């Protein structure tokens, strides 16, 4: 057990050292790194994290309250500034709206039809 903790500490120290930082920079220039990032950002987990990062940047919350019940590609729709629902991509792009409130009103009415409720 002590060996594992010791290795983690030494790995952390290495990552923060000058040699470790240079090694990390060189790795980020490789094709292997680029392909790994591309694979991650196209995965379901990567798409969810990208949506969370974008909503934080836009000073909105990301409280996922409704999961997608239809087996189609999805987009995340802010029902208000904090709550998010998964909507099929086609339906979400069907209502662009002239402004944020118009878009939300139209998409929220579709959400009520799909998921039911108020």
- Decide if 75 contacts 89 (C-beta within 8 A): yes
Q: What is the distance of C-alpha 95 from the center of its chain?
A: 22
Close Cβ partners of 82 (under 8 Å, ≥ 6 residues apart): 60, 61, 62, 63
* pLDDT at 3 > cutoff 80: no
Percent of the chain with pLDDT over 90: 8
Instruction: Report pLDDT digits (tens) over 68-106.
Output: 777 888 888 888 888 888 888 888 888 887 788 888 888
Here the contacts of 86-90 (C-beta below 8 Å, separation 24 or greater) are 87/111, 87/114
pTM of the model: 0.55
Q: What is the pLDDT of residue 5?
A: 60
Number of alpha helices (DSSP H) and beta strands (DSSP E) in the chain: 6, 3
- pLDDT confidence tier of residue 38, bands split at 50, 70 and 90: very high
Task: State the pLDDT at residue 17.
Answer: 85
């Amino acid at each position: 057990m002590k060996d594992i903790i010791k290795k983690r500490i030494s790995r952390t120290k290495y990552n923060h050292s000058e040699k470790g930082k240079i090694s990390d920079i060189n790795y980020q220039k490789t094709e292997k790194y680029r392909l790994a990032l591309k694979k991650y950002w196209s995965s379901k987990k990567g798409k969810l994290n990208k949506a969370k990062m974008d909503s934080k940047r836009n000073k909105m919350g990301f409280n996922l309250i409704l999961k997608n019940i239809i087996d189609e590609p999805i987009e995340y729709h802010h029902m208000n500034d904090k709550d998010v629902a998964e909507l099929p991509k086609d339906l979400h792009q069907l209502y662009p709206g002239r402004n944020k409130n118009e878009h939300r009103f139209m998409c929220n009415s579709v959400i009520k039809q799909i998921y039911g409720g108020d």
